[in-house]
Amino acid sequence: MYMSSLFTAEERRFAEAVALINTTNPFLPERVEGERAALGAGFVAAGAEWNKLPPAEASHPNHLRLTERAAAVLEQVRARWPRDGRVAKAEATNYEELAGFWLYQTYALRFDAVIRTELSENGGAGGMRVEFYPAFKADVDRLLTLPGLALLDTQPAPHLFACAFQIRRAFHHIFRSLAGGSAPMARLRAAIWQSVFTHDLKRYRRVLHTSMGDFATLITGPSGTGKELVARAIALSRYLPFDPRRGGFTDDFSTAAFFPLNLSALSPTLIESELFGHRRGAFTGALADREGWMETCPAAGSVFLDEIGDVETGIQVKLLRVLQSRTFQRLGDTETRTFKGKIIAATNRDLAAEIRAGRFREDFYYRLCSDLIQTPSLRDQLDDSPDELPVLVGYVSTRLLGAGEGSAFARETVDWIGKNLGADYAWPGNFRELEQCMRNLLVRGSYRPAALGVGAGEDWNTLLAGGRLTAEEVLRRYTRQVHAQVGTVEETARRLDLDRRTVKARL
Ligand SMILES: Nc1ncnc2c1ncn2[C@@H]1O[C@H](COP(=O)(O)OP(=O)(O)OP(=O)(O)O)[C@@H](O)[C@H]1O
């Protein structure tokens, strides 16, 4: 018989609640409920909303309380630990979960400092020494070197360190680069988190951390809703192994890991050359051999294919090959090369319709969509939570003007929008339009919402009847009006019988 008195009933309840917290998506309300369950009467409600995080420099009082309690329980349980290691598996697992939680919380703020320094001073150049690894390793040895534990889920210290660092980076990139606290935005953050760690963090830590690059991610959503930000957040949150001998992470973790390419802006030859590289003489102007991004991108990096719905079928076939076998060739070359990174793609097109119309290959679509993320429109966010407007305006305002001046300008902006556009304004250009509106207000003191075809106080019909618009203005306004109605560049182009580039230019 195994001993079963390692934990008191109260300690076991606490450990089980912490185990749930460890695996709950931090961007879902369940996470805070887990904290409430673990702390009981000690839970601090203020500032514990699931869609808000404390500033980087501080931990929420609940986290501090949970960490303190975890330390105390770990201490007690270790004192009772049997020398022969005969411990019931469930109890050993509870102990490991508590230890994992304590380690993560204890080092979280130090990881945050590394992220800030690395991003601001080093531009993410990687290889930076992390001075506190020896302390982390000593804590891992102290907590997890117990008879009977090695048989369980216990993982080596460098891997635990790498996972904790990855979780902090994911927090940083997912939370801080995307503004907004509405339920649709919270769902988006939760979906990004899942895209990075899957829904099962334990399995991820055991095996999947090295193979997430094999899963392509497809981001869909209307124009201006932050699809590129989502792609960047996923790319910059990937697993980076820690090398204990060097005392640093093996790869870059900032800009160098993200290779974006807008497929609608380039000709097919240029796209191929940018992605796959070329051999000298492969086409006019190919003066020297060139490495493409598929080749440059390291294993921990991601190539972002923006506007994937616009790419012609010949390139779709080549990309399909990359997704299926990770192989490609430079233009004009026969040598087969290997892609090591991850593919992230985005589009605002309706790909199902594109497949029906024969413009998008079905086999390519199915390789792309193993992980699908949808970005919500600004209107959906405001419908869910009208109080979001001041929050988002405040975010943009601070970025434009800094904290002090920014808050005054934010108030003026919210007032102006209320009076001139109204609470129901559709925001057809989404977040990008909000940014544009605010820049206009800053420079000119007013904003003309082009998509409606009217400026504040002006009526499109009056302008037309009075013959006050140039032909180009009529076309531009009409294009924007149709775009506001149909939502995508492609559909607008179809309705107006124009090519996409002309529509884009008018928008
Ligand atoms: N949730 C958000 N938080 C902060 N900024 C945002 C958010 N959503 C969009 N933005 C900003 O709006 C602008 C457009 O974002 P982005 O280019 O990522 O959109 P997109 O969906 O990729 O658009 P498109 O389909 O036209 O390429 C950028 O300046 C971006 O920083």
| ipTM exceeds 0.90, yes or no | yes
Topology given in CATH for the domain delimited by 174-376: Rossmann fold (3.40.50)
**Averaged pLDDT score across all residues of the chain:** 86
Q: Is the pTM of this model over 0.95?
A: no
* Residue 316 CB–ligand 1 contact under 6 Å: no
Give the residue whose CA is nearest to atom 13 of ligand 1: 432
Residue the block writes with tokens 């996470």: 31
- The pLDDT confidence band at residue 3, using thresholds 50, 70 and 90, is very low
Q: Region 101-118: what's the mean pLDDT? A: 88
Q: Are strands 290-291 and 277-278 parallel, antiparallel or unpaired?
A: antiparallel
Q: Is residue 343 helix, strand or coil?
A: strand
Residue the block writes with tokens 């991610």: 217
Give the residue whose CA is nearest to atom 24 of ligand 1: 223
* Residue 30 CB–ligand 1 contact under 6 Å: no
Mutational pocket test of ligand 1: of 218, 225, 492, the residue with most ligand atoms within 8 Å of the beta carbon: 225
Give the residue whose CA is nearest to atom 25 of ligand 1: 223
For residue 426, the model assigns a pLDDT of 92
What are residue 145's phi and psi, to 5 degrees? -95, 85
Q: Which ligand 1 atom sits closest to the C-alpha of 231? A: 18
Residue type, 6: L
Encode pLDDT of 311-366 as tens digits: 999 999 999 999 999 999 998 899 999 999 999 999 999 898 899 989 999 999 99
Q: Is residue 277 helix, strand or coil?
A: strand
* Residue 226 CB–ligand 1 contact under 6 Å: yes
Q: Any bridge partners for residue 291, and if so which?
A: 277
Q: Are strands 337-338 and 327-328 parallel, antiparallel or unpaired?
A: antiparallel
Q: Region 200-210: what's the mean pLDDT? A: 85
Q: Is residue 424 helix, strand or coil?
A: coil
Q: Tokens for 450?
A: 């082009």
**92 neighbors 22 (Cβ within 8 angstroms):** no
Q: Tokens for 457?
A: 């106080």
pLDDT of 455 > 50? The answer is no
Q: Any bridge partners for residue 374, and if so which?
A: 220
18-27, 324-333, 388-397 — which is least confidently predicted? 18-27
Q: Which ligand 1 atom sits closest to the C-alpha of 434? A: 12
pLDDT of 116 > 50? The answer is yes
Encode pLDDT of 396-449 as tens digits: 999 999 888 889 999 999 999 999 998 889 999 999 999 999 999 999 999 988
Mutational pocket test of ligand 1: of 173, 228, 384, the residue with most ligand atoms within 8 Å of the beta carbon: 228
Domain definitions of the chain by residue range: 1-154, 174-376, 379-506
Q: Tokens for 89?
A: 């598996």
Q: What is the dihedral of CA 208, 209, 215, 217, to 10 degrees?
A: 130
Task: Using the mean position of ligand 1's atoms as its centre, give its distance from the Cα of residue 179 in Å.
Answer: 10
For residue 59, the model assigns a pLDDT of 77
Q: What is the dihedral of CA 367, 368, 372, 374, to 10 degrees?
A: -150
* Residue 224 CB–ligand 1 contact under 6 Å: yes
Q: Region 301-309: what's the mean pLDDT? A: 95
* Residue 488 CB–ligand 1 contact under 6 Å: no
Q: Region 484-498: what's the mean pLDDT? A: 81
Q: Tokens for 351?
A: 């790909």
